[in-house]
Amino acid sequence: METRIRSAEERRNDIAAAAAAMGIDEEYISTLVDTFYERVRAHPLLGPVFEEKIGDDWGPHLARMKDFWASVALNAGRYSGKPVPKHKALTDVHPWHFDIWLGLFRSTLADTAPSPEAAVYFMERAVRIAESLKLAMYGLPGLGAPQSKGRS
């Protein structure tokens, strides 16, 4: 039996190979991010939230989001930001914004994903990350907001 601990590079290669079998690669991630944020910007309720933070200079945000999704989906290790404090600073964002965000992400995947498995793969990760962002922003339902939230 193989007992050797695999290197980070071997693990990354395995993950990239499994993703590639579903049709997921850097090119698809670029398409997904571009299409999703085009729809986010056009959305009457989500668009203004992003407009306020990002304005017209979307290049850096899109590049960061491609690094983020490549790290999540391919274990690319290129993203080193801190999403929790960034989202905690968005005091006009409410839990229902997440439902819209996830709905747009789901329909973008339905329209663009290279395979049904790829759509499930991204959606599962998005839901999980959205849950952890919501937990950090709003705490557990019924237990009040986390101390550091800065909301009243």
Q: Which is nearer to ligand HEM, 83 or 146 (CB)?
A: 83
Q: Which stretches of the chain bind ligand HEM, using CB under 6 A? A: 46, 49-50, 53, 64, 68, 81-83, 86-87, 90, 93, 97-98, 101, 126, 129-130, 133
Return the DSSP state at 114: S
Residue type, 118: A
**Minimum CB separation from ligand HEM for residue 17, in Å?**
23
Phi, psi values for residue 104, rounded to 5°: -70, -35
User: Do 123 and 147 contact (CB within 8 A), yes or no?
Assistant: no
Q: Which is nearer to ligand HEM, 17 or 110 (CB)?
A: 110
**Minimum CB separation from ligand HEM for residue 93, in Å?**
5
Task: Name the 3-class secondary structure at 45.
Answer: coil
C-alpha to C-alpha distance for 78 and 139, rounded to whole angstroms: 29
Q: Which is nearer to ligand HEM, 13 or 50 (CB)?
A: 50
